[in-house]
Structure 1
Amino acid sequence: MTVPVTDRDAECHRGVVERRLGVVGCRAGGGGRRAILRMPDYPGQRIVALAVLADHVMGEAFYLAAPPGRWALTTELAVDVLAPLPWPDREVSAAARILCCDARGGFGTCEVTGGDGAVLATASTRLQYVAARAGAGPLPDAAPPDAALDVRAWADDGTGRAELRHPQHWSNNYGVLHGGVWAGITELAAAAVFARDGRLRTAHLHVRYLRSAEPGGPVRAEARPVHLGRSFGVLEVDGTDGTGQRCVTATVTGRRDGGVAP
């Protein structure tokens, strides 16, 4: 069942993270939510920006359908890259819709398309509704779309690692590290392993959010290979906060040259 989204709050709750990574023009449309991403020039931010776009536009659809006094919290986010990056389009569009929803939460999907209408990526999410809380205060000024995430990623002994040194700069309106940024950090750790192999690029990313990161320290992701073959590879990734507490767990699949081809 598709749940229509009303225009009771047509204003997009686009935060500083979305603005920094180039998400613009979020609006109601087609029974769901639509937005545009201006692709960052920095290669290491493209998957991060894609994850932020998907998390934002699907989250907005659920936000507009939320019961009074409730907030939509992402519990799972999956992204499939169908066309290998980098894409030729400088701007891509995302269209999200809710497939099922009740007072507890629901499941939604998103398609990312280029200027010719070709589907470049798809995404899905599971969200739950929780009691709304006050925002984190005024948003800082927007940085340019290519503002550096300040992430360090590397691989050693077959394990990929990524570290976001200043997560407080990439929080959402509620002071929590943006779910799309968390997804991007796990992908960067996995991509460090794929880069050493040289044949594989990220084609699928599935993140499960366990808890919010505690403030005050860097967040880290560690990617461990489950399988690295000639045509595809699978990695399991854990994301931890500065206290060492596990906050996210993810599965990342890489395929030869990315995309859907075996």
Structure 2
Amino acid sequence: MLQLDDLTLSQDGFMLALSAKVEAGARVAVLGPSGSGKSTLLSLIAGFARPDRGRILWDDQDITDAPVAARPVSILFQDGNLFPHLSVFDNVALGLRPDLRLSREERDRVGQSLTDVGLAGFGERRPATLSGGQQARVGLARMLLRDRPLALLDEPFAALDPGLRAEMLALVKALSELRGLTILMACHDLRDAERLCDRLWLLDDGQKILDVPIAGLRNAPPDGMSAWL
């Protein structure tokens, strides 16, 4: 379980302040307008930023001060962070070893991760030769290869057209269910949240103003949701 205990960060006139819990295996969409604190929240959990106050706990272990590499977290950004001079295989392998000195077993794991996202046989290609959807799959393969129980998705498919975005979200949902991942996904589209997640947090100006199940949300929307329906 992920627990955010009185988490607070003040930065450039903006303040994020919230407490929350995410059960293991849950998939939570963090919805809100630009500047509401979605990416800031993910950065705190990932360790890219430090809170002014509060704690981040995973399975009752305090990871607030843990180094980024030591956290039970993988993160997928919108641009996928692919290196154009490296092959698809090596881009994925970076999730295991930054020096790319892989054992035979590790090379097999990279190949399997590419197969899991539908990119078997693409290992020798360069990112520039891939479509946007295929590049997104490379980033996903690298995230999955890290084999961390908590996956943070920072609007990773926002640049894709609606059909490809729906396809990628369906793939993430299937793989997360297979692996038992806990997911937090920052997004600005309720339809994306509905495709992947079972719970929704609505952020506004750094505050969590709603925490509700997604099932049936459109049929009985709570106060504050009308602008998103």
TM-score bracket, shorter-length normalisation: under 0.3
Greater relative contact order structure (CA < 8 Å, 6+ sep): 2
Choose between structure 1 and 2: higher helix proportion. 2
With structure 1 as the length reference, what TM-score do the two structures score? 0.23
Choose between structure 1 and 2: higher strand proportion. 1
With structure 2 as the length reference, what TM-score do the two structures score? 0.25
